[in-house]
């Protein structure tokens, strides 16, 4: 098992505005590389302060020049919002620019507000994804593509720029639809699972739902690889833990608004109204990996033992948390939490090995 750092790059109260969010991301990714994290992930969202990262591939390319070892992941490319010929070339270009450090996260997206502005149909996102993926797969693996589809027609096209990694960069996917699961599985694709602010118990339930989709796609359930994502804040301060919980709640409120049919904006800022039947702030704190190193390690160990993940993605700067606190939390995670985890589960390199299918 290896670790990643997730960069949503949300804007709330950052004194530097968009530039400040970008600079904070540089700081945290470089620190994560020093600590030994495997992947830095960059989100994709449009037109609101939920995220200022409109292009994970562009941000990954920028960070390729700021780092030397850490892999750089699009977390995720919302494929229905792209022309597949362009995005295929950009993926290959990123892998070339970074010396083979690109990681490809893909998904269908979910925000109707974004789809409407790009002229895409959110109701048909899975069908569009599958068609576009055919083009991207051909381009990356064969160096040529052709498709006469329902949503796009691609004439015979040959590509000059292709990935360093063969047949293509490691794939992760956030969309638990059986056709997508089937498409990524043949390349060793890994389902990405997160429960947002609902935390560990919800994560377990979602993992079983994803496993069901994996099996429905014709794949072996017990050997399904797993990548997890969680909010993490390491602190000994009770008040700081509650402040972290409030920032997690802020993100959760925005997600609810962006998923709903009625989105209220103040300019480009999401009006983060309370979630229906919203629990008390303490629930947000208790659901997530927020607290002292021993508490965080205990929760992390439980998730590892239950789900045996190959990858664990850590969300440190959620809700535009002040970078000093996010940095301190990341440092303590590396110096204090990880040794506690390894003491309980053994070497992390031995975690995440898929369970082999039973013999006939």
Residues with Cβ within 8 Å of residue 253, at least 6 apart in sequence: 272, 273, 274, 275, 278
What distance in Å separates the CA atoms of residue 346 and residue 105, rounded to the nearest whole number? 28
| Average pLDDT of the segment spanning 201-205 | 97
| Domains (range + CATH), the chain | 2-242+288-350 (3.20.20.30)
- Mean pLDDT of all residues belonging to the chain: 96
Residue 245: its pLDDT value, please? 98
Phi, psi of 22 (to 5 degrees): -65, -45
Give first-to-last CA distance, the chain, whole Å.
29
pLDDT band at residue 354 using 50, 70 and 90 as cut-offs: low
Task: State the residue for tokens 């390319």.
Answer: 61
pTM summary value: 0.96
* Residue pointed to by tokens 């780092």: 67
In terms of residues, how long is the chain? 360
Q: Identify the helix (H) or strand (E) that includes residue 201.
A: helix 199-216
Instruction: Give me the sign of the Cα torsion angle 157, 158, 164, 167.
Output: positive
Alpha-carbon Rg for the chain in angstroms = 20
* pLDDT tens for each residue of 171-181: 999 999 999 99
């Amino acid at each position: 098992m290896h670790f990643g750092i997730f960069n949503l790059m949300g804007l709330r109260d950052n004194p530097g505005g968009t530039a400040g969010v970008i600079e904070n991301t540089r700081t945290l990714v470089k620190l994560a590389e020093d600590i030994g994290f495997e992947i830095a992930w960059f989100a994709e969202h449009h037109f609101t302060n939920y995220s200022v990262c409109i292009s994970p591939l562009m941000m990954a390319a920028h960070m390729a020049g700021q780092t030397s070892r850490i892999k750089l992941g699009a977390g995720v490319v919302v494929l229905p919002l792209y022309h597949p010929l362009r995005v295929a070339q950009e993926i290959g270009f990123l892998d070339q620019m970074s010396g083979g450090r690109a990681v490809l996260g893909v998904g269908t997206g979910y925000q109707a507000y974004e789809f409407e502005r790009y002229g895409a149909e959110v109701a048909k996102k899975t069908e569009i994804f599958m068609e576009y993926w055919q083009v991207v797969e051909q381009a990356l693996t064969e160096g040529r593509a052709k498709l006469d589809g329902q949503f796009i027609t691609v004439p015979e096209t040959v590509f000059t720029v292709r990935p360093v990694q063969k047949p293509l960069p490691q794939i992760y996917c956030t969309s638990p639809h059986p056709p997508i699961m089937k498409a990524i599985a043949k390349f060793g694709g890994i389902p990405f699972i997160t429960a947002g602010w609902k935390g560990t118990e919800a994560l377990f339930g979602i993992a079983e739902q994803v496993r069901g989709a994996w099996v429905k796609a014709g794949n072996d359930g017990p050997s399904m690889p797993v990548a997890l994502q969680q909010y993490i804040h390491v602190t000994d301060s009770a008040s700081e833990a509650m402040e972290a919980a409030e920032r997690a709640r802020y993100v959760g409120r925005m997600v609810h608004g962006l998923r709903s049919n009625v989105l209220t904006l103040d300019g480009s800022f999401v009006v983060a109204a309370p979630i229906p039947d919203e629990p008390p702030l303490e629930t947000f704190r208790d659901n997530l990996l927020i607290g002292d190193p021993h508490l965080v390690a205990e929760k992390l160990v439980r998730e590892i033992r239950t789900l045996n993940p190959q990858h664990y993605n850590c969300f440190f700067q959620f809700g535009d948390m002040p970078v000093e606190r996010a940095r301190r939390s990341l440092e303590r995670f590396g110096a204090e939490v990880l040794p506690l985890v390894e003491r309980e589960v053994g070497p992390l390199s031995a975690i995440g090995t898929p369970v082999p299918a039973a013999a006939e």
